[in-house]
Amino acid sequence: MVDDLTKIQDTVDELVEKMYTAIGVIQRDAIHLKTNNSNEKELKNSIQIENNNNNNNNNNNLQTQLEEEQVFTKEDIKEHAIGIVKTSKKIDKLLDRISDLTTIGEEEQLKKLEELEKQNELVTKQLKEKAQTAEFWLKRIKVALNEVVTETHEVKELEQKLRSNH
């Protein structure tokens, strides 16, 4: 059983991942803004200089290439936004649940702690029992495998003796 604080942390991590992904997609695929003529000339010159320095003849027009590669749509924006909103709401619900705990009395909190301790003891006991059962079966399997190996070795020895006698 995962406690509420761990759930909140996991959900915040999920939200951060979604936002990081959305921002990355936007950076990768967003339409580049046109600049005024002087800035545009500087941009084209810097691209041309970069192309010449890299001796890269495949990049004739960087802007055209970026526009052709653009795959970011309004649906993508909507999808990312919905994911972020849903995750934020999930965090709000978890935080509300925690705030409910702070409004209950000390006696109720102690009762909840006792219940959790009992559950923990029960699960620990069950886990120990399963571990003992697993160890029992592991020992039996090892014995059985050892017997198979021994018998296989004995059979091969007998076969060799029979072949050498003929």
In three-state form (DSSP H/G/I as H, E/B as E, the rest C), the secondary structure along 15-71 is HHHHHHHHHHHHHHHCCCCCCCHHHHHHHHHHHHHHHHHHCCCCCCCHHHHHHHHCC
Q: Is the pTM of this model over 0.85?
A: no
Establish if 2 belongs to a structural domain: no
Domains identified in the chain, total number: 1
Establish if 97 belongs to a structural domain: no
Structure tokens at 12: 């915040």
pLDDT at 1 over 80: no
Establish if 74 belongs to a structural domain: no
pLDDT at 34 over 60: no
pLDDT at 149 over 90: yes
> How far apart (Å, rounded) are the C-alpha atoms in residues 153 and 147?
10
Establish if 77 belongs to a structural domain: no
Establish if 27 belongs to a structural domain: no
pLDDT at 129: 96
Structure tokens at 80: 């990312």
Residue whose token pair is 């006698």: 165
Establish if 138 belongs to a structural domain: yes
Q: Report the chain's C-alpha Rg in angstroms.
A: 34
More confident call, 112 vs 148: 148
List pLDDT tens digits, range 123-138: 999 999 999 999 999 9
Q: Give the count of beta carbons closer than 10 Å to the beta carbon of residue 78.
A: 10
List pLDDT tens digits, range 40-71: 555 555 555 545 555 444 444 555 554 544 55
Establish if 116 belongs to a structural domain: yes
Establish if 51 belongs to a structural domain: no
Domain range enclosing 118: 106-166
